[in-house]
């Protein structure tokens, strides 16, 4: 019996920029990011990785997982995920013998259209609201965008996919 591949082929990312929605979960869904220090370590790692080859369009650090929407230039998502997991682990582990921080692997989804990008960003930013952690996405201190310093409600409006706000990244 053949086993199913869990991730997209590296060839999908070989030629051009691709937008990808990525989710990394903690081992056994342990709430690693339940405090400010751990959550900010993840946010800091995302800002540190944001650059020309990989742009973090949206992110949300939840207690037991991290969502991102990333624009990757000719690079597979596994490289980005490995860097995030490595940096965050290094910054929040207190001892060498600490248990594993991350679940093996990650979830990925290539975003192929403008409305798909909008839906993915909306999903990421509204995650703490859906989970009942806050009443408004703006109240969650561990979500936002490395791409835009200021995000307002126009990013989540019903017709946002048609807005000119996306022109700089599409």
The 10 Å Cβ neighbour count of residue 23 is: 17
Query: Hey, what are 118's tokens?
Result: 């909008």
Round to whole Å and give the CA distance between 77 and 141: 25
Helix (H, G, I), strand (E, B) or coil at 63: coil
Cα(88)–Cα(61) distance, integer angstroms:
12
pTM reported for the whole predicted model: 0.81
pLDDT in tens, 35-92: 999 999 999 999 988 887 888 999 999 999 999 999 998 888 999 999 999 999 988 8
Taking domain 10-160, whether its CATH number is 2.40.50.140 is answered by: no
Counting DSSP H helices and E strands in the chain, the numbers are 3, 5
User: How much is the average pLDDT of 11-30?
Assistant: 80
Q: Which pair of tokens denotes residue 14?
A: 């070989």
For residues 25 and 14, which has the higher predicted lDDT (pLDDT)? 25
């Amino acid at each position: 019996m053949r086993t199913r591949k869990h991730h997209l082929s590296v060839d999908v990312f070989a030629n051009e920029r691709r937008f990808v929605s990525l989710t990394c979960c903690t081992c056994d869904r342990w709430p690693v990011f339940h405090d400010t220090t751990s959550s900010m370590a993840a946010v800091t790692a995302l800002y540190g990785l944001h650059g020309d080859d990989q742009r973090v369009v949206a992110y949300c650090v939840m207690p037991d997982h991290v969502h991102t929407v990333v624009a990757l230039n000719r690079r597979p998502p596994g490289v980005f995920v490995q860097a995030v997991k490595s940096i965050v682990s290094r910054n929040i582990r207190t001892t060498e013998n600490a248990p594993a921080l991350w679940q093996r692997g990650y979830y990925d989804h290539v975003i192929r259209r403008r409305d798909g990008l909008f839906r993915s960003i909306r999903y990421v930013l509204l995650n703490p609201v859906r989970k009942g952690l806050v009443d408004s996405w703006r109240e969650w201190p561990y979500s936002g965008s490395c791409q835009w310093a200021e995000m307002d409600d126009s990013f989540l409006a019903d017709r946002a996919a048609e807005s000119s706000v996306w022109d700089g990244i599409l």
